[in-house]
């Protein structure tokens, strides 16, 4: 491990410790349990255990790294769920409309088809199932968090500091990962930069998250509009969302 990578690693550990510490104060973790679980997994498995494997059993490092990293990529959906459930509280009419708009049917099928296509393409290039899954997960997560933010903006939902920082940091990180993978597909020589760019962008996300949870500031209560009016607007939202997914699929398949 070089001095630069060691510095990046220690910075990430320090930021995760800060996040866990702030979540433990005033018992914020009770409100943001899924977010806590993701950070805790990364801290225990990707930091402590993985470092121990690298230090004492280096021959097992590569396989353990990719396996645990793939699980971490899948667990990022918990962060998306955390943002969604605080942005559109359970039981509200707005939450029911948002659930339909986010894609129990159309979004799920659209993201699945695009993710599978890109994952298979990545596997054919790199012959690595881990890299393929990383790309598929990253694309799905970037579109999902974008959809939540766009829907929140459309319905005038206000964000508190906590969820706004979590969503902003997460969206920026997964977007950078998606763009980075796309550049690698176009120019394979960019691969060495990935080893620095992704950890740095991850640390940047952790820094934003540290700022976000430093003070407990949840989303303000939602002032809902007329339910019938919101239901009528759902048709407009669903139509435009499906058009966006169709455009993305055409671009990826072209």
pLDDT tens profile 114-150: 555 555 555 455 555 666 677 778 878 888 898 888 8
Distance (Å, rounded) from C-alpha 119 to C-alpha 149?
25
Integer Cα distance of 208 and 97 in angstroms: 30
**What does the pLDDT look like over 211-226, one tens digit per residue?**
999 999 999 887 655 5
pLDDT of residue 183: 72
Secondary structure tally for the chain: helices H, strands E: 10, 0
| Residue numbers of the domain that contains 85 | 3-253
Q: How far apart, in Å, are the Cα atoms of 174 and each of 4, 26, 243?
A: 22, 29, 22
Q: Answer for the pair 121, 205: CB distance below 8 angstroms, yes or no.
A: no
Going by C-alpha positions, the residue among 3, 188, 20 that lies closest to residue 180 is 188
| pLDDT tens digit sequence for 151-191 | 888 878 889 999 999 999 999 999 888 887 767 666 666 66
* Overall domain count for the chain: 1
């Amino acid at each position: 491990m070089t001095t630069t990578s060691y510095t990046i690693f220690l910075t990430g550990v320090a930021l995760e410790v800060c996040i866990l510490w702030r979540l433990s104060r005033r018992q914020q973790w009770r409100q943001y349990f899924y977010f806590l679980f993701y950070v805790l997994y990364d801290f225990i498995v990707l930091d402590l255990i993985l470092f121990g494997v690298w230090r004492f059993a280096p021959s097992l490092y590569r396989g353990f790294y990719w396996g645990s990293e793939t699980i971490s990529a899948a667990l990022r959906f918990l962060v998306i769920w955390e943002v969604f459930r605080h942005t559109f509280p359970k039981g509200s009419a707005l939450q029911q409309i948002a659930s339909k708009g986010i894609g129990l049917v159309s979004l799920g099928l659209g993201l699945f088809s695009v993710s599978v296509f890109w994952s298979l393409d990545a596997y054919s290039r790199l012959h690595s199932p881990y890299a393929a899954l990383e790309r598929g997960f990253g694309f799905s997560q970037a579109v999902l968090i974008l959809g939540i933010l766009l829907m929140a903006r459309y319905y005038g939902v206000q964000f508190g500091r906590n969820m706004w920082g979590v969503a902003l940091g997460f969206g920026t990180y997964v977007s950078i990962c998606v763009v980075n993978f796309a550049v690698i597909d176009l120019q394979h020589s960019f691969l060495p930069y990935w080893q620095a760019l992704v950890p740095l962008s991850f640390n940047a996300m952790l820094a934003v998250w540290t700022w976000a949870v430093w003070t407990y500031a949840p989303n303000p209560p939602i002032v809902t509009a007329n339910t019938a009016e919101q239901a009528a607007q759902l048709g407009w939202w669903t139509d435009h969302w499906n058009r966006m997914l169709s455009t993305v699929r055409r671009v990826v398949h072209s």
